[in-house]
Amino acid sequence: MDLKYVTYIAAKPEDVWNALVTPEGTRAIFFGSTLQSTFEIGAPYRYVGPGNDGEETVHVYGTVLAFEPNRLMSYTEHPGPSYRENHAELETRVTLTLETVGNSTKLTLVNDQWPEGHPSYENTKESWPMILSNIKSYVETGKTMDFGW
């Protein structure tokens, strides 16, 4: 049930990393949401932006497990409270790894540790390729994909 995706981006790891952690980067690639955290191991994080609860909707949240700038970020992930009543029980793990390959960056995303019957699995399986496409497009061109939403 693990979800694993690999994409290659024509940019340095630092540029990809900035898209993953800066407010302007996350706002672009995560559909208007910003990543809020101190990024210390064990610290909470949350993606907050427009949604069910207005401009301050918590889309996902969790705990930072690993954080090595320009190389690795791993965290637990829960759906936001407005998405699932039992959100606290629905924990998975996301790990993003960046590696230099020639003049490009290999971005590997693994979303694992899915509990049996997680109601967001199918939706997440479809969402990650869109988000990764947004990351690639944004870092390479400064623009994100238009998914018609």
pLDDT at residue number 78: 96
Proportion of the chain above pLDDT 70, given as a percent: 99
CATH topology for 3-141?
A: Alpha-D-Glucose-1,6-Bisphosphate; Chain A, domain 4 (3.30.530)
Q: What is the pLDDT of residues 66-94, one digit of tens each?
A: 999 999 999 999 999 999 999 999 999 99
Answer whether residue 110 shows pLDDT above 90. yes
Q: Is residue 26 within 8 Å of residue 35, measured between CB atoms?
A: yes
Mean pLDDT of 35-59: 93
The domain limits of the chain are: 3-141
Q: Is residue 82 within 8 Å of residue 68, measured between CB atoms?
A: no
Answer whether residue 146 shows pLDDT above 90. no
